[in-house]
Structure 1
Amino acid sequence: MAFQTLVQGFYEIPVVTRIYTTACVCTTFAVHLDLISPFQLYFNPTLILQGQIWRLITTFLFFGTIGFSFLFNMIFTYRYCRMLEEGSFRGKTADFIMMFVFGAVFMIIFAFFINLLFLGQAFTIMLVYIWSRRNPFLRMNFFGLLNFQAPYLPWVLLAFSVILGDISNAIYIDLVGIGAGHVYWFLEDVFPNQPNGKKLLKTPQFLRNIFDEPPDTDDYVVLPEDRAGGAAFVWGNANVANNNNDNNQQNQ
């Protein structure tokens, strides 16, 4: 019975979030169990040009050794990917996939110049950045120590990743993720609303034909992203709280 409940809960996760987080966990555990080597996965332009195209994908799937840092990254990846997919991308799976493609291309271009081997953490930061910009008035608490509004979350995570790992590498990776998220947010949410602005990122129609379904106009309701997965979420001692009263005051 418990297994059936677990399986049912797994399939209730939105499809893109389910596939990406599962791929990240499976790839990292496969390396941990010596089924594959990280040398087969890292971003290497020379080997890619020689035909090892899979490295363009696997660079986003490996999160290092199993430990606190891996768990931390997986929780954030799952949480913010799901909140985006169930929030502003609800019913827009094709647009969500297009965001993945845009972010991946942006990071790969930078990886050519600054020698980044694995981009999974940068991708997580990009998801967090986009979510935080679309929830600017949400108040958050981090490890019971810091209280701040959502747009500061990526910078808090950058500082935290510096504490956890190699300083120079952590800064480069997180800044690439923040850069990708900022460019996407600007092109999608800011520039089209400016005088003479227009939407520059357009999802190909074939993606819409494959992934999007026309919403049921009688029952379709767009839920705020901060409601996805509950009003509050705890990572060990880390707590992100949904302050609905602050949001209501901002809307009045």
Structure 2
Amino acid sequence: MEAWLAQIPPVTRAWLCLSVATSLAVQCHLVAPLQLYFNFKLAFTNAQLWRTVTTFLYFGSPSLDLLFHLYFFMRYSRMLEESSFANRKADYFWLLFLSSIMLLSLSPLFNLPFLSNPLAYVPVYFWSRRHPSTRVSIFGMFTMTAPYLPFALIMFSWALSGTWHAAAADLVGCAVGHVGWFARDVWTREMIGGRTILSEAPDSLKRLMGDI
């Protein structure tokens, strides 16, 4: 297990370990889901700031849908960190950090108390746009080019959960992922002509994470 974890890039590994630890804590009744979800009033008015973090770590009670999201989040987060963000863990963390802020701001609008699933779709969507000609297979049943992957996964998630609300949360994650991709791959190239704070981590964060 240690050898397998060591092969996972650092940001993805930390996210995975914290998510599994959070789920285990809930299953062992050390914490309750009601203590983890994001609510603007509880988080900022009542100073329960941990909710701005734990909402991204709890994927729900054990279920097929939980395994589905964990598997694809880990697979494509790892692939993205090993390819587009190789040796750039600060930039990858910055992508997830900015995406988290966007999701927190959208949470009240879409009634999304838990934001782990939407955030998990950010690396999936980002990877799919960075590899538009790559063909992918879902469980060996369907083959498609990468840009269609996020929406195919949303349909699977909808089928597994049985509720449109779950699919809506994943769509919000795709929308945030699109903003992140646009800011890095389109805006900086066609409209700005260079990198901005939206596309690259600050130098202070890079030094903190050992990238410079």
Alignment TM class, shorter chain as reference = over 0.9
2:20 corresponds to which residue?
A: 25
Where do 5+ consecutive residues of structure 2 fail to align? none
State the alpha-carbon separation in 2 of the partners of residues 22 and 149 from structure 1: 30
Unaligned runs of 5+ in 1: 1-5, 215-252
The structure-2 alpha-carbon separation of the partners of 1:110 and 1:195, relative to structure 1 and needing over 3 Å to count, comes to closer
Equivalent residue for 1:130? 126
Q: How far did 1:196 drift? A: 5.0
Moved over 6 A (4+): none
Contact 1:140/1:150 (CA < 8 Å) preserved in 2? yes
Q: By how many angstroms is 1:11 displaced? A: 2.2
Q: Deviations over 1:118-141 (max 9, x none)?
A: 111111111100011111111112
Q: Does 1:114 align with 2:110?
A: yes
Tell me how far 1:158 sits from its aligned partner: 1.0
Change (3 A) 1:212 1:189: farther
Secondary structure at 1:28 match in 2: helix
Percent identity between matched residues is: 38
Structure 1 residues 160-201: Cα deviation after superposition (integer angstroms, max 9, x where no partner): 111111433113211110011100001101122215544331
Alpha-carbon spacing, 1:147–1:8, altered in 2? closer, same or farther (3 Å): closer
More helix by share: 2
Residue identity opposite 1:37 in structure 2: A
Q: Please say if residues 64 and 160 of structure 2, whose CA atoms lie closer than 8 Å, have aligned partners that are also in contact.
A: no
Deviation of the 1:53 alpha carbon: 0.2
Change (3 A) 1:183 1:195: closer
Task: Tell me the TM-score normalised to structure 2 length.
Answer: 0.93
TM-score of the aligned structures, taking structure 1 as reference length: 0.79
Cross-structure match for 1:207: 205
Which residue among 88, 104, 122 is the counterpart of 2:100?
104
Paired AA for residue 208 in structure 1: K
What is aligned with 1:187? 183
Cα displacement (A) at 1:67? 2.0
Give the aligned residue type for 2:27: H
Count of residue pairs the alignment pairs up: 209
Q: Based on CA coordinates, which of the two structures has the bigger radius of gyration?
A: 1
Corresponding residue of 1:234: none
Change (3 A) 1:123 1:196: closer
Correspondence list, 1:161-180, <5 A: 161-180=157-176
Counterparts in 2 of 1:70-89, with a 5 A limit? 70-89=66-85
The CA distance in 2 between the partners of 1:92 and 1:101, in whole Å, is: 14
1:150, CA displacement in angstroms?
Answer: 0.6
* One-letter amino acid of the counterpart of residue 112, structure 1: P
Amino acid across the alignment from 1:96: Y
2:60 aligns with 64
Aligned to 1:46: 41
Q: Which of 18, 31, 36 is 1:36 aligned to?
A: 31
What is the aligned-residue RMSD (CA, Å)?
1.5
The residue aligned with 2:91 is 95
| Distance in 2, Cα, partners of 1:152 & 1:196 | 28
Alignment correspondent of 1:7: 2
